[in-house]
């Protein structure tokens, strides 16, 4: 089969790799129908996050079950499924509590020895614990596929930011970051009933999506100016719930500074740069909480799926380009150069 | 009147100061019956926290209302009251929401221009918003006074740590710090129904109180050894709720490391040393939340008071020495040298 392989910074190739096969009785093999490139893949692409040369890449995909191991009971050949961005056994304490990302047997697609999502097929460990079934008829609805695919990471991650930031009906919410996760955070906040949603971002194509997703205000400033702008919009108080979807020191500093006293920052941007952006003294004086982390998408997909199927939310709008497998290297370039927001791969 | 004044590091004096009087119609004057020295006062005593020479000090007191301003409606001369460690107007958004520490008109006893708690009387701004009434008959119950006094800060602060760390019935709890706040955190966790309480501390007199307050396990190790010990006690998982009651980088690092994945650190130790102890990448991977801050004691006192009056909890056990006003400088020395846990002042 063919799959995307990363050899080093800026070196993404499509190569022939061993076919995905059932290795353990709890495995399934999924033929990928659609996958995508994540903003977090760019950290590897840019060489900021280390990868072993030859490692697979991609952690968001949906597809059709092709084969299942002898112990898989929940899925059969032909089922339409979406995978969250980590696999998990579904039976440990953490999985049962809904924090599948802490499963001791869990792993991340593309880690050494595993298939990545940006390939023709994927061996899925612990298929019963990992995969979420989708209605078979949805596989034929081209217009639904992007939204369903977004559940594997960005929509679930945006939802995690909103949940951990404590978004409630009527909340004033601020979202730091206008990437796909930030935009999905806007959508998640709107879905949870936020009264006001301030999107921080300065790329007009992106903030236009933010407005479509429910943003009531857009702040294009950054740093101290952004803090001032959000304070001005909120009677000097800041936002009850702040969604941090970038992961830099500056974005964290901004997020904490625009939180209302007693409010919370839900951070889902993979941290790059250490704790220097975490102003602990300011947090202490103002009782600002810092919550979030890697999103347990497996727990959220069943909750979000009905709203995607009904059309109540359409996170698929974050995709602004579609390529075939051979177009993946160009997709990385486009996202790296910010000429594309998020690239979908159709097989 | 006479009051405690700080002139510089290690320079605490008892001096004649202007009498506390009603200056504004919302003021009251409280004749202090009992006050105490806080672990956080030691930061000033040691010169770590800056003070203007001649500033008053002390932020925990209870007493009898001596005089009220024309607009005070909730209290009258002769009422027995306890003060939380900050004053607040009781009417702003934050006060109404229970975060009195963020009141824009609020302030801290002993700040420049205000009376401190370690004196014969205190002018109380916004008396209606600030003070909490106590049963008059309790003023005569010598055995109750220490517990009631503990409500003004340490018990409320320990409770804040427990609440923000998310202690629930059955929770496994770890408490970092065996000072008065940490011990009150143990008591608060026990009151909230924790199933297991691991107290980290190595001063036997203190850990003995921790056991009286409900600690089921004591870990005397520090740093990496403490993390290992807590993990060993919890099947490798750590504690659902961690109460951080020290405020150093090392204590924060320990607190985050011993939290269970998906758990929370409730930190109430005044941060000294910046964010270096906040391991943001570890928090992200394991979804560990950081909550807490300066405790809104004014919100908690009414909730905790019935349990103090009934004897269900006795946070007064944290006091192990009582002095008169003239003994205050010696009280600071004793707490600084750790020959006293917490010193009460009886007038």
For the cut 80, the answer to whether the pLDDT of residue B232 exceeds it is yes
Predicted local confidence at residue A1, as pLDDT: 98
Q: Are residues A320 and A331 in the same domain?
A: yes
Please give the pLDDT value at position A265: 98
Here the CATH number for the domain that contains residue A137 is: 3.90.180.10
Whole-structure pTM value: 0.96
pLDDT at site B40: 92
Tens-binned pLDDT, residue by residue, of chain A (347 aa): 999 999 999 999 999 999 999 999 999 999 999 999 999 999 999 999 899 999 999 999 999 999 999 999 999 999 999 999 999 999 999 999 999 999 999 999 999 999 999 999 999 999 999 999 999 999 999 999 999 999 999 999 999 999 999 999 999 999 999 999 999 999 999 999 999 999 999 999 999 999 999 999 999 999 999 999 999 999 999 999 999 999 999 999 999 999 999 999 999 998 887 788 999 999 999 999 999 999 999 999 999 999 999 999 999 999 999 999 999 999 999 999 999 999 999 99
The residue of chain A nearest to residue B290, with distances taken between CA atoms, is A290
Task: Please give the full DSSP string across A57-121, using - where no structure is assigned.
Answer: ----EEEEEEEE-TT--S--TT-EEEE-SEE--S-SHHHHHT-GGG-TT-EETTSTTS--SSBSE
The answer to whether residues A125 and A68 belong to one domain is: yes
pLDDT value of position A198: 98
Q: Which of A292, A312, A334 is the last residue of a domain?
A: A292
Whether residues A165 and A149 fall in one domain: no
Q: Measured between beta carbons, which residues in chain A are less than 8 angstroms from residue B275?
A: 275-280
For residue B277, the 8-state DSSP code is G
Task: Answer left, alpha or beta for residue B173, where phi above 0 means left and psi between -120 and 50 means alpha.
Answer: beta
Cα B8 to Cα B4: distance, rounded to the nearest angstrom? 12
Q: Looking at beta carbons, which residues of chain B come within 8 Å of A237?
A: 93
B162 neighbors B213 (Cβ within 8 angstroms):
no
Question: A92 touching B, CB under 8 A?
Answer: no
Residues A34 and A149 reside in one and the same domain: yes
Q: How far apart are the CA of A155 and the nearest CA of chain B, in angstroms?
A: 18
Q: Is B92 on the interface with A (CB under 8 A)?
A: no
Which member of A271, A284, A285 has the closest CB to residue B284? A271
Sequence-distant (6+) residues with CB within 8 A of A223 are A250, A253, A254
Residues B130 and B203 in one domain: no
- Which CATH number does the domain housing residue A273 bear? 3.40.50.720
- Chain B CB contacts of A271 under 8 Å are 280-281, 284
Whether the Cβ atoms of residue A252 and residue A281 lie closer than 8 Å to each other: no
Question: What tokens appear for A143 in the block?
Answer: 């217009």
Note whether B109 and B86 are within 8 A (CB): yes
Interface test with B, best of A96, A290, A292 (most B CBs within 10 A): A290
Cβ within 8 Å, pair B102-A261: yes
Please tell me whether residues A89 and A20 are part of one structural domain.
Answer: yes
Q: How many CB atoms lie within 10 A of CB B337?
A: 8
DSSP state of A20: P
pLDDT tens for residues B19-61?
999 999 999 999 999 999 999 999 999 999 899 999 999 999 9
Q: Is B94 within 8 Å of A164 when comparing Cβ atoms?
A: no
One domain for residues A12 and A149:
yes
Residues A163 and A277 occupy one common structural domain: yes
Q: Which of A181, A262, A294 to mutate to test the interface with B (most CBs of B within 10 A)?
A: A262
- Bridge partner list, B83: B61
Instruction: Give the closest residue to A219 by CA, choosing from A267, A176, A158.
Output: A176
Residue B46: how many CB atoms within 10 A of its CB? Answer: 12
Domain count, chain B: 2
Question: Which one of A102, A261, A274 has the shortest CB-CB distance to B280?
Answer: A274
Give the nearest chain A residue to B249 (CA atoms).
A280
Chain A contact set for B261 (CB, 8 A): 94, 99, 102
Pairwise CB contact (< 8 Å): B102 & A262: yes
Instruction: Read off the pLDDT of each residue in B262-290 and give the average, rounded to a whole number.
Output: 93
A207-222 pLDDT, tens per residue? 999 999 999 999 999 9
Angle between helix B154-164 and B297-309 (nearest 10): 110
Q: Residues B30, B171: one domain?
A: no
- Nearest-CA neighbor of B187 among B291, B308, B309? B308
Question: What pLDDT is recorded for position B5?
Answer: 98
Out of B253, B269, B292, pick the residue that ends a domain. Answer: B292
Q: What is the mean pLDDT of chain B?
A: 97
Q: Using the predicted structure, report yes or no on whether residue B255 has a pLDDT greater than 80.
A: yes
Residue pLDDT, tens place only, B238-250: 999 999 999 999 9
Residues with Cβ < 8 Å from B200, sequence gap 6 or more?
A: B174, B175, B176, B177, B178, B218, B219, B221, B222, B226, B230, B254
Q: Are strands A28-36 and A61-68 parallel, antiparallel or unpaired?
A: antiparallel
**Residue B31 at interface with chain A, using a CB cutoff of 8 Å:** no
pLDDT digits (tens, 9 = 90+) for B135-148: 999 999 999 999 99
pLDDT tens digits, A15-35: 999 999 999 999 999 999 999
Helix (H) or strand (E) segment spanning residue B208: helix B204-213
Q: Same domain for A118 and A130?
A: yes
- ipTM of this predicted structure: 0.96
What is the rounded distance in angstroms from the CA atom of residue B183 to the CA atom of residue B239?
A: 17
pLDDT of B272: 84
- Whole-angstrom Cα distance, residue B185 to residue B163? 10
pLDDT score of A224: 96
Do B251 and B205 fall into the same domain?
Answer: yes
Among candidate residues B317, B259, B326, the one with its CA nearest the CA of residue B291: B259
pLDDT band at B275 (very low <50, low <70, confident <90, very high): confident
Contacts of B321 (CB under 8 A, 6+ apart): B331, B334, B340, B341, B342, B343, B344
Q: What are phi and psi of A238, to 5 degrees?
A: 90, -175
Give the other-Cβ count within 10 Å of A324's Cβ: 11
Q: With contacts defined as CB-CB under 8 Å, which chain A residues touch B96? A: none
Residue ending a domain, among B292, B308, B334, is B292
The residue of A99, A166, A287 whose CB has the most chain B CBs within 10 angstroms, and thus the best one to mutate to test that interface, is: A287
Per-residue pLDDT tens over the stretch B117-129: 999 999 999 999 9
Closest-CA distance, B1 to chain A, in angstroms, reads 32
Residues A17 and A86 in one domain: yes
Chain B CA closest to residue A287: B293
Q: Which range of residues forms the domain containing residue B172? A: 157-292
* pLDDT confidence of residue B276: 82
Scan for tokens 């190569």, then name that residue: A15
Place of tokens 């932020």: B59
Going from the C-alpha of B306 to that of each of A99, B147, B161, B309, B325, the distances in angstroms are 37, 11, 20, 5, 29
Residues in chain A: 347
* CA distance to partner chain B, nearest, from residue A67 (Å): 32
Q: Is A280 on the interface with B (CB under 8 A)?
A: yes
pLDDT at residue number A64: 98
Q: How would DSSP label each residue in A270-339?
A: PP-SGGGG--HHHHHHHT-EEEE-S--HHHHHHHHHHHHHTTS--GGGG--EEE-GGGHHHHHHHHHTTS
Compute the count of residue pairs across chains A and B with CB atoms less than 8 Å apart.
Answer: 97
For chain B, percent of residues with pLDDT exceeding 70: 100
């Amino acid at each position: 089969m063919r799959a995307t392989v990363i050899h080093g910074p800026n070196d993404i190739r499509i190569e022939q790799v061993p076919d995905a096969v059932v290795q353990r009785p709890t495995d399934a093999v999924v033929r990928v129908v659609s996958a995508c490139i994540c903003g977090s893949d760019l950290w590897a692409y840019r060489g900021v996050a280390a990868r072993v040369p030859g490692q697979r890449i991609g952690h968001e995909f949906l597809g059709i079950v092709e084969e299942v191991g002898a112990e898989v009971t929940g899925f059969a050949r032909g089922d339409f499924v979406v995978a969250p961005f980590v696999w998990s056994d579904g039976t440990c304490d953490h999985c049962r509590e809904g924090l599948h990302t802490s499963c001791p047997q869990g792993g991340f697609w593309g880690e050494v020895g595993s298939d990545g999502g940006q390939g023709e097929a994927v061996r899925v460990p612990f298929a019963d614990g990992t995969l979420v079934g989708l209605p078979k008829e949805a596989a034929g609805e081209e217009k639904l596929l992007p939204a369903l695919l977004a559940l594997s990471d960005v929509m679930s991650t945006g939802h995690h930011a909103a949940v951990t930031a404590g978004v409630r009906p009527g909340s004033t919410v601020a979202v730091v970051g206008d990437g796909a996760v930030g935009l999905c955070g806007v959508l998640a906040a709107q879905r949870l009933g936020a009264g006001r949603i301030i999107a921080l971002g300065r790329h007009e194509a992106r903030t236009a999506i933010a407005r479509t997703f429910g943003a009531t205000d857009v702040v294009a400033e950054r740093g101290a100016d952004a803090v001032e702008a959000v304070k001005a919009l909120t009677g000097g108080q800041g936002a009850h719930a702040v969604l941090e979807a970038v992961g830099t020191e500056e974005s964290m500093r901004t997020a904490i500074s625009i939180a209302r006293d007693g409010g919370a920052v839900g951070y889902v941007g993979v941290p790059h740069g250490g704790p220097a952006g975490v102003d602990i003294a300011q947090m202490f004086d103002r009782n600002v909480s810092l919550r979030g982390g890697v999103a347990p998408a497996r727990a959220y997909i069943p909750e979000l799926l009905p709203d995607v199927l009904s059309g109540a939310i359409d996170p698929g709008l974050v995709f602004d380009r579609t390529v075939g497998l051979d177009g993946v290297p160009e997709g990385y370039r486009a996202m790296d150069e910010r000429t594309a927001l998020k690239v979908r791969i159709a097989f």
